[in-house]
């Protein structure tokens, strides 16, 4: 929980419960972070390197190659190179994973509604991490040929 101070910046505050008592067990501090450059193909953060010259656009040669193939394929089909073609089943796989995450978030909210025991929190976190890790490993590959 945060409240803006006189300078307009937000600082963490202690949550007040409905009965007026405070809970100082959990304080969340979210630091604003500067935008990091990301790979123009896979969108993963680019490693910071002290180089001179043009900034890197891609994390590596495979992404540079896929981007090239995608632009070339778009040119062949006469579509805007900023658009990509996806197989329908690829998009469906992504939607399935997102639905799985949505369901896991609902499960966790339900499971922790009345039980905040360390065991319940650990089980909820394990469940959420399992689903989230499957989503984080998901790779969406546009058609490039």
* Residue with Cβ nearer Zn ion (39 or 131): 39
Distance CA 145, CA 143 (A): 6
Residue 63 found at the interface with Zn ion (CB under 5 A)? yes
Choose between 24 and 82: whose C-beta lies nearer to Zn ion. Answer: 82
Nearest distance from residue 44's CB to Zn ion, in Å?
5
- Assess contact for 107 and 127: CB atoms under 8 A: yes
Candidate ranges 6-14, 30-38, 60-68, 93-101; the one touching Zn ion (CB under 5 A): 60-68
Shortest CA distance to 59 belongs to which of 74, 37, 81, 83? Answer: 37
Residue closer to Zn ion (CB basis): 66 or 127: 66
- Are 91 and 61 in contact by the 8 Å Cβ rule? The answer is no
User: Which string of x and - marks every residue 9-48 that binds Zn ion (by CB under 5 A)?
Assistant: ------------------------------x-xx------
Measured from the CB of residue 45, what is the shortest distance to Zn ion in angstroms?
10
Specify the 3-state DSSP secondary structure of 63: helix
* 3-state secondary structure (DSSP) of residue 16: strand
The answer to whether 37 and 45 are in contact (CB under 8 A) is yes
Number of residues that bind Zn ion (CB under 5 A): 5
- Give the footprint of Zn ion on this chain (CB under 5 A): 39, 41-42, 59, 63
């Amino acid at each position: 929980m945060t409240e803006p101070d006189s300078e307009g910046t937000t600082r963490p505050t202690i949550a007040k419960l409905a009965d007026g008592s405070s809970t100082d067990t959990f304080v969340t501090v979210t630091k604003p972070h500067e935008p990091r450059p990301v790979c123009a193909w896979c969108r993963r953060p680019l490693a910071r390197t002290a180089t001179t010259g043009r900034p890197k656009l891609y994390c590596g040669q495979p992404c540079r190659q896929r981007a090239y193939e995608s632009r070339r394929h778009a040119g062949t089909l006469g579509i805007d190179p900023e658009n990509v073609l996806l197989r329908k089943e690829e998009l469906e796989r992504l939607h399935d994973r997102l639905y799985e995450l949505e369901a896991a978030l609902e499960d966790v909210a339900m499971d922790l509604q009345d039980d905040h025991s360390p065991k319940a929190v650990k089980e909820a976190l394990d469940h959420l991490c399992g689903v989230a890790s499957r989503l984080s490993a998901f790779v969406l590959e546009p058609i490039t040929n």
